[in-house]
A and B are shown apart, each in its own frame.
Chain A
């Protein structure tokens, strides 16, 4: 078990390094850097000025070295100008020689220095912490709505395979999996929040939910994300439930005269819920997608909205920070799902 865990964590770290390097490389391609230079100095600068600005700010080093500096495993670059002023990655702008000498050698993600956002004019770590807190609230609400309803739907459908209930509930879950967030969000807003239909039960925007969550401003975004994920989990639960219901020990229980509700609740459910656990965990990457779409649609300034802003405005450091967090969320949920599966299912032994 320990070796399995160590190997998984090893693969995970390697994957994380590869992925962050790819993102680093893609965001730091020369046209992106030129755009940064132009947005810092004004659009009408010459190519020579661009080059000198890039050189002065350490952007001309080889990508792999800069990746090391960004990670914090290589010492940050320093440069001494002709007039003796020292600039460097770890030295705050405009610092005097004394401050420059006192600045740390390493400053990267490992040291907690995530850089500075050019769009929001704030520290990246601060922006990410705030937006993650907002998204955390959204996700919590989504999970509270999605998981119980998906499990109930799946168990009810899988309890009696092929029955009318099964077919009706399976159709419901197919419909929800066929409705991406940008469709369900649009339909929900049009029906429940627009003046054209006139119900106006909820708000069409979740901006006010950032200050205080109310039923009116949080229902629609939560429903939008929950609906899409729900169908998939329900179908997996149904498949696992039907498999369990045909198992030998269920037949034995029936022959012994155990009542049907008792069989479902006490005998079948526990084994049927192992597979959905992994599915729920692996659902997180998709939920992340849903979060990006829903937050954009409802203008809720959480993690997904930040991602879109960073990517749309070529905010390199913020985009890197956002991708590090999202890659880690994905990898950690994968790890939990693997370990949890082994932990929950005593039949699996790792050699």
Chain B
């Protein structure tokens, strides 16, 4: 077995093409920017024969060329992916092999995009996302990692080796230590996957599989932690902005207090083993995780309190379920808080994860609080709020059923951005080796493990770094597209 090169035999022919196209593209983009600085603003000029002229001259030509070049670049990239899937394994190099490995994800992505495009007029804001190119690119990047996480965590389809285990054969382990991308595993005929696609790390584990397994950790924690932060921020921000006065002063002071804390110092103070032993993170979990229950209780009660027949069973069911989840989440084996009998305790979160989760929620909640508070301050002067007040609705009804739905646009955009920020925070925690166990395949820890050998073997840290970059970039682009589309209304 030969080690794989990056692009294999198709590269001979596609690489120069890509190089030339990219070089021309870069030159033209710069030329266009310089030229547009001196050009007159675009005016659509309508001719007598009913046609429109956008822009003529050199700048117009450059703009048209750029449009075609974008198409050409996309086609070349697609060619890499498709040849990788179609041609037999090994001919198309590492990129081809990876693209073959990601086949379920391509199928899922095509299905998602096809269905969404077909019904986009019936899907509200989500459907409008498919009108914006930036939004679609962002959504594609995010869904790529979401599907990677789902398929690898549930079915184990994507990863090629065990992300945590080292090769059992000592000779192979020695050869695969810090192996370069495309290295042959053993002789390539062990019956396992024949290559380490993105090379091996210092413990001879496959970097590709670790990167894929790392996505599952990020995709599980980041959105959920952001959701909890939003619950806390909304439950506290609405009354602060609506009632104002002392309550607002106090809550704002507390929020500013947390915001003035350097994040890394806070992490070091909260996530060290000594502090975990004292149970402070567990008690913080007790406080922070109460907020979703409070939120839903108030939400349902304020709506249905006039119809006790509906409200009482609804509240019993919802609060019962949430309460049980809450108690099982808070009660953890091996911490100070362990009160649930084994049969009733639904699940135990791995020890490091809960602490990481709590600290990330704690850091994010004050910012959400500030956003919700300022939105509420603005929206509570609107006429529909005054109308609801005249009707005699309760304060909580006005906050949760009049103000909150009208604040959803900015909140959805911020939710996307904040998931990205949470991903960065998780990476920071991993980078400093806090919280998660060192062998964990999450991206931050892998970057931390790889950075010591960066000058000789950069691939170990580079793969998770680029993965993290693409996910956060996708979330930011998605937020940008959503903002653009929601402003169009």
A residues with CB within 8 A of B: 11, 14-15, 18-19, 22-23, 26-27, 29-32, 35, 156, 160, 163-165, 168, 170-171, 174-175, 177-180, 182-183, 186-187, 189-190, 193-197, 204, 260, 285, 288-289, 292-293, 296-297, 304, 307-308, 311-312, 314, 322-323, 326-327, 330-331, 334
A313 to chain B: closest CB distance in Å? Answer: 11
- Give the residues in chain B near A314, CB-CB below 8 Å: 272, 274
User: 10 extra interchain contacts, Cβ-Cβ under 8 A, other than A165-B36, A170-B480, A196-B180?
Assistant: A15-B260, A178-B476, A180-B424, A186-B451, A193-B455, A289-B263, A304-B264, A308-B264, A330-B262, A331-B260
A174 and B473 contact, Cβ closer than 8 Å, known pairs A26-B275, A289-B263: yes
Q: Find out whether the CB atom of A160 lies under 8 angstroms from the CB atom of B473.
A: no
Residue in contact with A196 in the complex, picked from B260, B263, B458, CB distance below 8 Å: B458
- Give the residues in chain A near B447, CB-CB below 8 Å: 182-183, 186
Residue in contact with B431 in the complex, picked from A29, A293, A311, CB distance below 8 Å: A293
- Give the residues in chain A near B270, CB-CB below 8 Å: 26
Asked if B90 is at the interface of the complex by the 8 Å CB criterion, the answer is no
How far does the alpha carbon of A195 sit from the alpha carbon of B476 in the complex, in Å?
A: 33
How far does the alpha carbon of A26 sit from the alpha carbon of B362 in the complex, in Å?
A: 16
- Give the residues in chain A near B265, CB-CB below 8 Å: 23, 307, 311, 322-323, 326
How far does the alpha carbon of A297 sit from the alpha carbon of B32 in the complex, in Å?
A: 38
Measured as residues with beta carbon below 8 angstroms from the partner, the interface class of chain B is 35 or more
How far does the alpha carbon of A141 sit from the alpha carbon of B424 in the complex, in Å?
A: 24
Q: Which of B32, B36, B268, B456 has the most CB of A within 10 A?
A: B268
- The dominant DSSP class at the B interface is helix
Stretch at the interface among B113-121, B317-325, B383-391, B459-467: B459-467
How far does the alpha carbon of A275 sit from the alpha carbon of B477 in the complex, in Å?
A: 23
Asked if B364 is at the interface of the complex by the 8 Å CB criterion, the answer is no
Within 8 A of A (CB), among B106-139: 134
Q: Mark B450-489, 1 if CB is under 8 A from A, else 0.
A: 1100111111011001101100110111001000000000
- The dominant DSSP class at the A interface is helix
Asked if B29 is at the interface of the complex by the 8 Å CB criterion, the answer is yes
Within 8 A of A (CB), among B234-264: 253, 256-257, 259-264
A183 and B468 contact, Cβ closer than 8 Å, known pairs A177-B476, A190-B454: yes
- Give the residues in chain B near A296, CB-CB below 8 Å: 431-432
Q: Find out whether the CB atom of A182 lies under 8 angstroms from the CB atom of B431.
A: yes
| Nearest neighbor of B40 in chain A, beta-carbon distance | A260
Asked if B393 is at the interface of the complex by the 8 Å CB criterion, the answer is no
B275 to chain A: closest CB distance in Å? Answer: 7
Asked if B278 is at the interface of the complex by the 8 Å CB criterion, the answer is yes
- Give the residues in chain A near B431, CB-CB below 8 Å: 182, 293, 296
How far does the alpha carbon of A15 sit from the alpha carbon of B42 in the complex, in Å?
A: 52
Q: Find out whether the CB atom of A196 lies under 8 angstroms from the CB atom of B36.
A: no
Number of A-B contacts (CB under 8 A): 160
Residue in contact with B262 in the complex, picked from A156, A194, A195, A285, CB distance below 8 Å: A285
How far does the alpha carbon of A40 sit from the alpha carbon of B73 in the complex, in Å?
A: 64
Asked if B33 is at the interface of the complex by the 8 Å CB criterion, the answer is yes
B48 to chain A: closest CB distance in Å? Answer: 28
Asked if B444 is at the interface of the complex by the 8 Å CB criterion, the answer is yes
How far does the alpha carbon of A160 sit from the alpha carbon of B473 in the complex, in Å?
A: 24
- Give the residues in chain A near B272, CB-CB below 8 Å: 311, 314
- Give the residues in chain A near B259, CB-CB below 8 Å: 285
B24 to chain A: closest CB distance in Å? Answer: 16
- Give the residues in chain A near B472, CB-CB below 8 Å: 178-180
Q: Find out whether the CB atom of A182 lies under 8 angstroms from the CB atom of B476.
A: no
19 A-B residue pairs with Cβ-Cβ distance under 8 Å, sorted by A, are A160-B41, A164-B32, A164-B36, A165-B32, A180-B472, A182-B444, A186-B461, A186-B462, A189-B455, A194-B455, A204-B454, A285-B263, A293-B431, A307-B262, A308-B432, A311-B265, A314-B274, A327-B261, A330-B260
Q: Find out whether the CB atom of B269 lies under 8 angstroms from the CB atom of A204.
A: no
Within 8 A of A (CB), among B421-466: 424, 427-428, 431-432, 444, 447, 450-451, 454-459, 461-462, 465-466
| Nearest neighbor of B264 in chain A, beta-carbon distance | A292
- Give the residues in chain A near B459, CB-CB below 8 Å: 196
